[in-house]
Amino acid sequence: MHGRTFNLLLAFFCHELLIAAYYFQYVVGLNPCPLCIIQRVVVFALAVWFLVLAAINAKPGTLMAKLVNGIGVLISLAGVAAAGRQVWLQSLPPADIPACGPSLEYMMDVFSANEILAELLKGSGDCAKVDWTLLGFSMGAWMLVAFSLFALMFLWRALRK
């Protein structure tokens, strides 16, 4: 699970996740919440990182392999954090769900970059809404599984000899 072909396959998988996200947004009509947008950014970062790994093709057990896979763990954990927060918000009783925040367009016009990032990371009532499920799991839950598997794979790659 470290060769060029496998990394290219994982980059393609990330590409397909993004295609699915845009399909649900523009064809089905499901607007992404702030945490969904963060997850898209992380998926894009993972796709780029898998392409970098394919180009580097570091040999297992080397310091380079540990470094590049350690960075992959960190990128994946950012996705785990965003998807985990979304799943947590979706599990709250209706009375405990935070109020919906301003739209991203409004925030970009009015807020500073730090304020926008803080607001996106916090999530909102929009993030607690479940519009779609597969086998009883929301998109956020599926992304939590995907990011967790990426993190475990990178960790395994970094620690193997």
Q: Where are the domains of the chain?
A: 4-159
76 and 150 in contact (C-beta within 8 Å)?
Answer: yes
Mean pLDDT (the chain, rounded): 84
Q: Tell me which H or E stretch contains 134.
A: strand 133-134
**Per-residue pLDDT for 88 more than 80?**
yes
Distance between CA atoms of residues 68 and 58, nearest Å: 8
Which candidate, 124, 145, 125, places its Cα nearest to that of 134? Answer: 145
Cα-Cα-Cα-Cα torsion 52, 80, 31, 132, nearest 10 degrees, comes to 120
Percent of the chain with pLDDT over 90: 42
61 and 160 in contact (C-beta within 8 Å)?
Answer: yes
**Per-residue pLDDT for 103 more than 70?**
no
Residue 28 has a CB neighbour count (10 Å cut-off) of 9
Which candidate, 42, 79, 68, places its Cα nearest to that of 158? Answer: 68
**Per-residue pLDDT for 86 more than 80?**
yes
Q: Which whole number is the average pLDDT over 116-133?
A: 66
Distance between CA atoms of residues 159 and 1, nearest Å: 13
The single-letter code of the amino acid at 105 is E
Q: In this structure, which CATH number among 1.25.40.10, 1.20.1440.230, 3.40.640.10, 1.20.1550.10 belongs to the domain 4-159?
A: 1.20.1550.10
The single-letter code of the amino acid at 64 is M
pLDDT band, very low/low/confident/very high, at 16 (cuts 50, 70, 90): very high
For the whole model, what pTM was predicted? 0.79
**Per-residue pLDDT for 147 more than 90?**
yes
pLDDT digits (tens, 9 = 90+) for 22-37: 999 899 888 888 888 8
Distance between CA atoms of residues 89 and 92, nearest Å: 5
